[in-house]
A and B are shown apart, each in its own frame.
Chain A
Amino acid sequence: EAQVTQNPRYLITVTGKKLTVTCSQNMNHEYMSWYRQDPGLGLRQIYYSMNVEVTDKGDVPEGYKVSRKEKRNFPLILESPSPNQTSLYFCASSFDLAGTQYFGPGTRLLVL
């Protein structure tokens, strides 16, 4: 089954404790993105990757890191999480920017 998976689905952590949210797709997609969703603000892009080893900042990259060492994986790293990073995070993938984006199930993060 074609899908995008994210782990964990739910996470409660404390300020400053490094964490990684994994994202994996099995559709051989070139393009992958991370979004955060907050009430009233819609979907805002954090980082995107057009291909392996090619990543770039989206609208709200501060406090986040990503890597794209393999085509299928695109982890999101929070080196020192803060409460304002409490949010719902989605990973998405597509063949290219113009293509259908397939979203993962989301990761709900609470930073205390």
Chain B
Amino acid sequence: QQPVQSPQAVILREGEDAVINCSSSKALYSVHWYRQKHGEAPVFLMILLKGGEQKGHDKISASFNEKKQQSSLYLTASQLSYSGTYFCGTEIPGANNLFFGTGTRLTVIP
């Protein structure tokens, strides 16, 4: 039930854009996005509930396509501070826990 994230890793130059995808084989109730910097704990970015809403957090936004059971995280005009590993966590109807993906390692270089 673990969602699949793609790509596994990506390297960007400052100012470039990136998209991270999260796909589930199960119907989803919500998708959570977290970022983990090296040596630190994961930190919450945003939650998306079913309904296809798009949320934003500074220059980081996300969408949720309930029918496709997918979510995408959009990072625009990337900054050095965006570097880290991004995890999606999926909530399945009827389950009482989140299933996290294996993560996408994002590296932003000057």
A interface residues, Cβ below 8 angstroms from B? 33, 35, 40-45, 48, 50, 56, 58-59, 90, 97-98, 100-106
The reply to whether A56 and B87 form a contact with Cβ atoms under 8 Å apart is no
> Does A103 contact B43, Cβ atoms closer than 8 Å?
yes
Given contacts A42-B2, A43-B87, contact A97 B41 (CB under 8 A): no
A98 touches B30 (CB 8 A): yes
Q: Which residues of chain A are within 8 angstroms of B87 by Cβ–Cβ distance?
A: 42-43
How many pairs, one residue from A and one from B, have CB atoms within 8 Å of each other in the complex?
57
Q: Are B97 and A98 in contact (CB under 8 A)?
A: no
Total number of B residues with any Cβ neighbor in A under 8 Å: 23
Closest to B34 in A: A101
Q: Within 8 Å CB of A103, what residues of B?
A: 41-43
Interface of B (DSSP majority class):
strand
Which of B91, B96, B97, B100 sits near A42, CB closer than 8 Å? B100
Contacts known (A56-B96, A97-B97, A101-B32); A41 close to B44, Cβ less than 8 A = no
Q: Which residues does chain A contribute within 8 Å of B84, judged by CB atoms?
A: none
Q: In whole angstroms, what is the CA distance A59 to B87 when docked? A: 17
